[in-house]
Structure formats: structure tokens, C-alpha cells
Amino acid sequence: MDINETISVVPYDEKWNALFQSEKLHLLKAFGDNVTEMQHFGSTSVPGMMSKPIIDILIGMSTLELNQSVMNNLSHLGYEGFGEMGPGRLYFRKREEFAFNLAVVIWKGEQWVNNLLIRDYLRYNPDVAKCYSDKKLNSINKGYTTLLPYSDEKADFVYSLLEQAKRTLGYDSQNC
């Protein structure tokens, strides 16, 4: 499957959290004791936000080395692995009746902290979440309808969200 898939943005769906909770149970079995923590992140985790209808799951581990048993379990669940996508993040995705993305990262590392900061900032600031939803729709309307160009189009906005979240939520890298 091509990493640069066609994407769409849809209104928030109340079932997204239930889908995360259900998939989390399967993933906890697949990863076994290797998982330190698992979180729902991304726009589907922010009530009211427009989003790609893909549940993003953040998996925190002490190492990014996955044994063959975990890889086999993920494959059995329908996940396709793309290896390291960006520094410190293993990427997997499942495209069946419901779609899921997995980001396997170091627990409490930079990827873990940054993704949860953005999620929490958007949850506590619905006006900013609305602005981000508008940015997503504008990107789609400009013709950015495949994953990589769409992600590039909104990258500066996401970076500014992270910086706002760090300032607002009192992020201190010494306390990670």
C-alpha cells in the first residue's frame, strides 16, 4: 500500500473514542508487556474537531525495537508497517472497516510529549481546535487530498500549535 494515500476530512464522530478503546484492547494483547502506555491522540481524540476518519493511537515503549512476535501479532490484526517515519517514530496503519494509525514512540520521549501536548491544548481550547479544523478544510479545498502534500501544507500550523501548547500548558523539558 502506498504511504501517500488519498485522504478526506469529516466532522467529528462520537464513535471515535469507542473505536480507540476497542482497538486498544487488541493492541495491548498484540504488544504484551512491551507497552508502557497507550493513548488516543490526533484530531479524532479532540471532541468537535474535523478530522481524517482515522483513529491515531500513540504507543509508548521503553525501546523502538519490536520483536518478531509483536510484528506477527500486528500483521494478524491487519496492520502494515512502514518502519521509522520521522525520528523516533515507528508507523503502522490498518485500513479495514475502520482505519487506524499507530505511532510507536519512546514513552515520555519528545514524540510522546509533543503529541500529547498538542492534543491536550486542542481539547482545552475549542476556538483553536475550530481554527485548526478550518485549516484542514482549506487544505483539502486547495487540492491537498493525498497524505504527504496535505501534511506538508499544514506543517507550519501544527508547529505553531506545539509552540502555543508548550507556552500555555507550562511545558518544561526538564520535567519530562
Condensed to tens digits (0 to 9), the pLDDT of residues 111-130 reads 999 999 999 999 999 999 99
Report the distance separating Cα 20 and Cα 38, nearest Å.
10
Q: What is the pLDDT of residue 171?
A: 64
Three-state SS for the chain is CCCCCECCCECCCCHHHHHHHHHHHHHHHHHHHHEEEEEEECHHHCCCCCECCEEEEEEEECCCCCCHHHHHHHHHCCCEEEEECCCCCEEEEEECCCEEEEEEEECCCHHHHHHHHHHHHHHHCHHHHHHHHHHHHHHHHCCCCEHHHHHHHHHHHHHHHHHHHHHHCCCCHHHC
Q: What is the pLDDT of residue 172?
A: 57
- The full set of domains in the chain, from first to last, is 15-169 (3.30.460.10)
Report the distance separating Cα 149 and Cα 106, nearest Å.
27
Q: Which three cell numbers stand for residue 122?
A: 486542542
CB 70 within 8 A of CB 34: yes
Q: What is the pLDDT of residue 3?
A: 87
Model confidence, pTM: 0.93
Mean pLDDT in each 10-residue stretch from start to end of the chain (176 residues)? 88 97 98 95 97 97 95 97 92 97 97 96 96 96 94 95 90 50
Q: What is the pLDDT of residue 107?
A: 97
Q: Find how far residue 161's CA is from the centre of its chain.
A: 15
Q: What is the pLDDT of residue 1?
A: 62
Q: What is the pLDDT of residue 41?
A: 98
20 forms beta bridges with none
